[in-house]
Amino acid sequence: MTSKRSKQPTPRVTGAELSVLDALWKQGRLSIRQIADEIYPGGKASEYATVQKLLERLEAKECVARDRSSFAHLFEARIQRADLIDQELAEVAEKLCDGSLTPLLTHLVAKRKLTREEREMLRRLLNDDR
């Protein structure tokens, strides 16, 4: 199983589903137990069942892929974090800024002190002649 950048719109993801995806983005292929332990350290059977349900929903949305080749099924993210960020920011910009990213970006930069590395990255992006 390999992650691919999706060409279709990224499905809406809830906060709970995002926590599952975050574990998969950070650690790669994981079993339900490994994901449950990551999200709910010391969790009980109810947390395991919650993760199982979240994975079923994410699989139905084609956000995760399941490898059934072993007893413990392994899951892997099928969507990239960047694709989800793109969609979410575009929706916020559309909702709050008439589709423009400029007010959104300037507000974020003005409200948070950027590190030197972050400022340099922004300069490179702004100077990029795509």
- Which pLDDT does position 125 carry in this prediction? 87
Question: pLDDT digit string (tens) for 5-29?
Answer: 445 667 889 999 999 999 999 999 9
Other Cβ atoms within 10 Å of 76 Cβ, number: 16
Question: pLDDT digit string (tens) for 57-105?
Answer: 999 999 999 999 989 999 999 999 999 998 888 889 999 999 898 898 8
What domains are there in the chain, each with its CATH number? 15-79 (1.10.10.10), 82-127 (no CATH)
Query: What's the rounded Cα separation, in Å, for the pair 19 and 11?
Result: 15
pTM: 0.78
